[in-house]
Amino acid sequence: MSTRADAGRPAPGTKGADGATAAKGAGRPKPAPKSVTVLVPAAGSGSRMGGRIKKQFLLLNGLPVLAHTLRRFENMPEVCEVIPIVPEPELEECLEMCVDGQGLRKVRRVVPGGRERQDSVRNGLMAMEPPGDWVMVHDGVRPFVTREMVSALIIALDGCDGAVLAVPAKDTLKEVGPDRLVRRTLDRRFLWHIQTPQAFPYRVIAEAFRKAYADGFYGTDEASLVERYGGSVRVVAGSYANIKITTPEDMVLAEAILAGLAGAEVRAAGKAGCEK
């Protein structure tokens, strides 16, 4: 396991992390700030993208997709540490391409991934020392995560075992058999596409992973492990722009979203200038 020296470790947790609780509890003593560690699995083979370069290392506006994702957490005061989980053979290369020179103060160690995504996340959980209060898991190939999403998840965790970002299904979804015949049409009103980040108290996700490995259970996301052991998971409405880069068309979409964001930032900066 490769670790990096801890340069200038910021104090865990921030004003933002407990902002919601503090607002509710006006007059009461302020609770201790909680720390959020973000695990960023990026150790997949990216086979659906085709091509020689893994999707997490494809360049988006000159920067690897993973570097975009990691940079997003840098300015979120709620987040105290970010742990990328990358393919073992490319660990050093990944450090050079996505971490070094990016000014990423919150990335203090890089962890090798495992065979399945769940194995990669487990490696990340085991690398957390000392474990923080809350864990968020976020796909390395979702470069448009925002501070608003992270804050909303923290608020949603209150009274729950987990909170996940999601968007309502837009298309009709059908269950189809291996013979390509439709088995049934699902009721779209109750269907959501689940995204990341997914947020959990550390003790909840650690216990769910322990049980899942004892049972030999593999899920396609972390919440499914928590659900399997009776945990309550709340859905938070996210954004259709929080795409997971999976196929070549997604890179075209990502370029467009990035250009739109840059335009919005320029307009906001212009407005701020006028307001002075």
Shortest distance, position 269 Cβ to ligand C5P, whole Å: 31
Shortest distance, position 264 Cβ to ligand C5P, whole Å: 25
Q: Which is nearer to ligand C5P, 66 or 257 (CB)?
A: 66
Handedness of CA 243, 74, 101, 99 (dihedral sign): negative
242 lines the binding site for ligand C5P (CB under 6 A):
no
Q: Which is nearer to ligand C5P, 20 or 63 (CB)?
A: 63
Q: Which is nearer to ligand C5P, 139 or 161 (CB)?
A: 139
Task: Check: CB of residue 60 under 8 Å from CB of residue 254.
Answer: yes
Minimal CB distance to ligand C5P: which residue? 44
Q: Which is nearer to ligand C5P, 17 or 91 (CB)?
A: 91
How many residues touch ligand C5P (CB under 6 A)? Answer: 17
DSSP states of the chain: --B----SPPPSS-TGGGHHHHHHTTTSPPPPPPPEEEEEE-----GGG-SSS-GGGSEETTEEHHHHHHHHHHT-TTEEEEEEEE-GGGHHHHIIIIITTTT-TTB-B-EE--SSHHHHHHHHHHH-SS--SEEEE--TT-TT--HHHHHHHHHHTTTSSEEEEEEE--S--EEE-TTS-EEEE--GGG-EEEEEEEEEEHHHHHHHHHHHHHHT---SSHHHHHHHTT--EEEEE--TT-----SHHHHHHHHHHHHHHHHHHHHHHHHHHHH-
When binding is defined by CB under 6 A, the residue of 14, 35, 37, 56 that contacts ligand C5P is: 56
The interface with ligand C5P within residues 63-122 (CB under 6 A) comprises 85, 113-117, 120
Q: Which is nearer to ligand C5P, 77 or 114 (CB)?
A: 114
**Piece of 12-20, 134-142, 156-164, 165-173 that binds ligand C5P (CB under 6 A):** 134-142
Q: Which is nearer to ligand C5P, 74 or 116 (CB)?
A: 116
When binding is defined by CB under 6 A, the residue of 18, 139, 161, 222 that contacts ligand C5P is: 139
**Piece of 21-29, 128-136, 139-147, 248-256 that binds ligand C5P (CB under 6 A):** 139-147
The interface with ligand C5P within residues 16-45 (CB under 6 A) comprises 41-44
Shortest distance, position 138 Cβ to ligand C5P, whole Å: 9
206 token code pair: 């650690």
Q: Which residues contribute to the site for ligand C5P (CB under 6 A)?
A: 41-44, 56, 85, 113-117, 120, 139-141, 244, 246
